[in-house]
Chain A
């Protein structure tokens, strides 16, 4: 268990509303990632972070922003949710343990935008 907690576990929201998903880790690892999972697409990277206040875009970053003000927390924000953002969102961390070090994933947040 890599100590990753995602909240909320499920969320239903309306189009146009802002939404923030939280990822919390207990072990102070440097690298954190947000992925979305959609049928027929696998997991696609939204944003990632390589330290406090250090973030970068992934392949599907449009409509999303992130923040990392503390090592342990990585927030994903949908400024104005759209139906195309209905998805399962996974946070992941890279622990650096083992070679090659894999990603460890949280349990996911299922977001429905109506």
Chain B
């Protein structure tokens, strides 16, 4: 079974600084997708960024970018110019490529990010 590991239960960053959250995964598949979700105190799960495994180019969404290292099975999230509103739990997630519709999203245990003013 696929597993997703987030080795940092908690991280903190100063406002306007850059922080990187780590994520590693275990899979024997070659076709898969990776996601980062954000969960603020409101409890809402918000998609931050997504990456297709076959694409070598790292995904970027405004201040959020990933460092996707396929051989190392690593998918870290970089937040630049951190803002107070970035404070949240961040979850890394993995999904196999299409297998007839039964693909499921597997989550890591999360990293709690604190942003200090």
Contact = CB atoms under 8 A, between A and B. Distances in A.
**Do they bind each other?**
yes
A42 B91 contact: yes
Select the residue from A35, A43, A58, A105 with max chain B CB neighbours within 10 A.
A43
A45 B43 contact: no
Interface of A: 30-31, 33, 35, 40-45, 48, 50, 56, 58-59, 88, 90, 92, 98-100, 102-105, 107-108
Contact of A33 (B4, B47, B101, B104): B104
A50 to B, nearest CB: 5
A100 B33 contact: yes
B45 to A, nearest CB: 4
Interface of B: 1, 4, 6, 33, 35, 43-45, 47, 50, 52, 91, 95, 101-102, 104-110
B107 A44 contact: yes
A105 B104 contact: no
B35 A102 contact: yes
Contacts, number: 50
Given A40-B109, A43-B107, A45-B104, A107 B50 contact: no
Given A90-B45, A99-B52, A100-B52, A43 B35 contact: no
A108 to B, nearest CB: 5
B102 to A, nearest CB: 7
Minimum-distance CB pairs A-B, first 3: A105-B45, A100-B33, A42-B107
A48 to B, nearest CB: 6
